[in-house]
Each structure stands twice: as structure tokens, then as C-alpha cells.
A and B are shown apart, each in its own frame.
Chain A
């Protein structure tokens, strides 16, 4: 079984371009945008739930507020979600580590290489 969570956040070939004067700005921006994305995902999910509840009238607000995982499986599913979520949000840190371990050419250098291929 492949480590699909780590592999999903892999870096592509070539040194990553940075656009801000301080790379730290870029790093924080990337983390923030990923969080923004996940907030949008959650908003869409809540929207779905609210619409379904409204249509069917099945679950009360109080039931949701008081819910805790009831089985080991439910606990594991929740924690796996958190693990994947954090990997997705901290993608750029993983990619910087990959670049440190495997220093890469710039894409402009690769363009020159390819031009001779």
C-alpha cells in the first residue's frame, strides 16, 4: 500500500520559484490558502447537511452538539481525517524538505537542457 497522504503532497521537479522578498511570506500564504480551501470545503458540506436536514427534518441541533465517537472505528476515521488534513495544509513545508534532500535545477536551466534534447 502506497503512502497516499504523503505522496499526494509531493513536490514536482525543478526548484520552486518564490515571489515575495522573504520566502517566509510565501510559506505562510500557501498554508493560509490551503486552510481557506478547507474552510470552503467545510462550508459546502455544512450547506449540504443543512439542506438535507431541512428537507427531511431528521436530526436536531442538540444531537449534533452532543455527539462523540462511539466506536474505535469512528475514532480512527476521525483521526485519519485530521492526519490527511494537516498534511494537505503543510504541503509547502514537506516540499521544501524534499528540495533540501534533493537539490534541483531551475526550470530555466531545465529549459536549456531540454532545448538540447
Chain B
């Protein structure tokens, strides 16, 4: 069993849900990202989604677009992100790390070479935003061969037929995009998400995480009541943007936000 499955099983045994922070690798530099990974874990993160910067992040709002621009300006490459995880693994052997990004940098490296390098570095899953199951056969095959989970998005507009089709290729967990929009959007409708996620769970047999629009302890706690995992991204990335020059405050604020989300989630009854 890989780290992602192990983690979900351990959480389920305690009646808890996964807290999944997202940050963009290399924003504003790789050393900051590496230090932040440990802060996230120390404050209660269960799985880390590590963004691979791309020049044209079509599904992301302005906060993560700017993070990509800062990371690229610092020269961050896909290989650097893989290397970052290898260093993280020298001290943390249990927290699952999922790379999240767009297909083109992976295309350039080659699916097989990417999957091999990612597995060797201790990466556990890969979420490729612009890769629907229709086009995913080759990359998903390479990932699975190397023991990595291909992770897929579900949307409010996904039909039951699509949800089933996606679940056939997905491993690890499914990431339900809670609203129509890009990352960093607001206006999360918890009741609507609850109904959709309950329905999706009746169609699939992997854990279902929810992201987009979760920005504080209250929204994290509310989503934890209805899903297996809670993903938070833009709320963290916008703090990195404002506090990059003040590392102590940055770590304190990121740590405090994650800890507050953790507390709110664990106060929640099991979904």
C-alpha cells in the first residue's frame, strides 16, 4: 500500500478527514517551499499538493497565476520540484506528496522518464489539471507502472457517466472542484457540495476530496463534515505572496491557519 492509501486508512480509523494544503513549488524560491512543507506537516497537514509552475495556468485564478510567475522567474523547473521532494523525503518519509500542474512540462520530460524520476524521489501521486481521462491513458499507465497514483478532478458539471469513467482511471483520491470557476474563487455553497459529494461517493470507491473556495477554519470544518479530504490552496499562496520577505511571520501565519483548520476539522463528526 502506498503512502496515500496508508494515510487515508489511518485517518478513517480515527474518524478523521485529510487536510490537504497546496503551495506552488519555487514561490518565491525552492528553499522557502522546502521549509514551508515541514511547517505544513508540523501543523497538521496530511497530504501535500505541490504545484509545478506553468507559464499558462488556465484553470487557476490570479493568486496562483502570480505564484507561477514568481516561481518561473526564480527559474523553477519540473526537475527542481522533483529534487525538492527528494530532499523533503530525507526527513519526512510518511507524508504523501502529490504534484499538481499542467501537462506540457511533463510532455517535454517524457512520461516514462517523469514517472520514474518522480517515483524515485518519493512522490506519491500526480494531478495533471489539463488531462481528462480521454487523453490520460499513456501518462496514467506510466504513473501506475511506477507505483504513483494518477489523481483526477471532478466538477459540478460532471455527469454520472463521466464520474464513473474518471473513477475507472483514478487512484488515490478524487478531487471535487466545489464550484464553477478558477482556483481562488469565493462563494462556496456547503449544502450543494454536501449533496454532490454524497452522490459522487455512491458512484466511486476512492476517497473524495473537495477544493476551491476553502479559505478558513470555518469552511474547512464545514467541508470536513461532508468529504474525505479538504484542499486549501489560494488562501495559503496569497499569504506567501504578502509575507515572503518576512519568513518568521510567514511560517507563523501559515502554521496558524493550518492548525486552525485542523482543529475545526477534527471537531467535526465523521462524514
Q: Tell me if chain B binds chain A.
A: no
Chain B residues at the A interface, C-beta cutoff of 8 Å: none
